[in-house]
């Protein structure tokens, strides 16, 4: 297990950005995961950046007079494009594997298959719809931007604790190559994201969505442990997706 923290913030930010997005910062997203476990503390900053881009598009769409629903759809579209659908793909693979596999080995085989089945399609549709509807419910452009910033930071920070808590379910693959961060670093990522949520949403709401994010990541981790005995890159993507959805829904209910 790797517990070392990458102390060069520029290097850590670059590594986290390569892993979590398709923003061109140099490096290879397929092979550049060596120091990834030591860069987990930068995940919330990258998540906030992704949320900011979605919020800016929503804000600009509203300024142009577009309907709220269309602005929300464009905002979520930007989230998808910036990440290359990485987390949505993970959610779809997990839904297919956990829903369609009868054994641990079969679940892992289905998750590795690039084809998407019925469970995966449904999971992606619900993920996109729930985020769009949550944004529509929030409506106010500034509030949407703050919500996306908080959701982006917390959802990416949630990846770290799952990496730290669960072993890789495979001896190869993205998660195995990335290594495991120390528990302290995973908590640091959550701490950074929670401070961001408080800044973006206010103290009470920030603490509330942080608690919900922690509960959600624990549920995903427990499910992954039961289903496949550990985590994979798809499980990490699912964690980010589920936390992002839960945070946005909670903010829309305020």
pLDDT digits (tens, 9 = 90+) for 148-179: 999 999 999 999 999 999 999 988 877 777 77
Structural domain of residue 169, as residue ranges?
42-252
Residue 124 structure tokens: 């992606």
Q: Is residue 26 part of a domain?
A: no
Give the closest residue to 27 by CA, choosing from 9, 41, 15. Answer: 15
Q: Domain total for the chain?
A: 1
Residue 2 pLDDT grade (very low, low, confident, very high; cuts 50, 70, 90): very low
Tell me which of 3-12, 41-50, 67-76, 92-101 is least confident: 3-12
CB proximity list for 51: less than 8 A, separation 6 or greater: 79, 145, 148, 149, 150, 151, 152, 153
Residue 153 lies in a domain: yes
Contacting residues for 198 by C-beta, under 8 A, at least 6 apart: 206, 207
Give 100-110 pLDDT, tens digit per residue.
999 999 999 99
Asked whether residue 52 carries a pLDDT value surpassing 90, the answer given is yes
**Is 129 within a domain?**
yes
pLDDT at 61 over 50: yes
Q: Does residue 66 fall inside a structural domain? A: yes
- CA-CA-CA-CA dihedral for 34, 1, 162, 24, to nearest 10: -10
Q: Residue 15 falls within a domain, yes or no?
A: no
Least confident interval from 11-15, 159-163, 195-199, 247-251: 11-15
Q: Is residue 23 part of a domain?
A: no
Tell me what percent of the residues of the chain surpass a pLDDT of 90: 81
Q: Is residue 31 part of a domain?
A: no
Q: Per the domain annotation, does 198 fall within a domain?
A: yes
């Amino acid at each position: 297990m790797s517990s070392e923290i990458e102390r060069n913030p520029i290097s850590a930010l670059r590594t986290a950005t390569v892993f979590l997005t398709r923003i061109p910062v140099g490096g290879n997203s397929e092979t550049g995961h060596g120091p990834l476990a030591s860069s987990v503390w930068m995940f919330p900053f990258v998540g906030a950046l992704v949320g900011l881009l979605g919020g800016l598009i929503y804000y600009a769409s509203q300024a142009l007079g577009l309907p709220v629903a269309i602005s929300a759809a464009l905002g979520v579209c930007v989230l998808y494009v910036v990440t290359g659908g990485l987390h949505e793909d993970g959610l779809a693979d997990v839904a297919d594997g956990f829903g369609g596999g009868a054994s641990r080995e079969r679940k892992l085989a289905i998750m590795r298959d690039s084809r998407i089945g019925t469970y995966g399609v449904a999971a992606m549709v619900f993920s996109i719809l729930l985020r769009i509807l949550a944004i529509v419910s929030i409506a106010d452009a500034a509030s949407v931007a703050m919500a996306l910033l908080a959701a982006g930071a917390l959802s990416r920070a949630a990846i770290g604790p799952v990496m730290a808590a669960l072993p890789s379910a495979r001896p190869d693959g993205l998660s195995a190559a990335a290594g495991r961060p120390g528990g302290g670093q995973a908590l640091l990522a959550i701490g950074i994201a929670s401070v961001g949520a408080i800044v973006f949403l206010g103290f009470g709401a920030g603490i509330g969505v942080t608690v919900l994010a922690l509960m959600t990541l624990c549920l995903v981790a427990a499910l992954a442990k039961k289903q496949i005995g550990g985590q994979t890159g798809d499980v990490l993507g699912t964690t980010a997706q589920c936390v992002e959805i839960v945070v946005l829904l909670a903010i829309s209910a305020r």
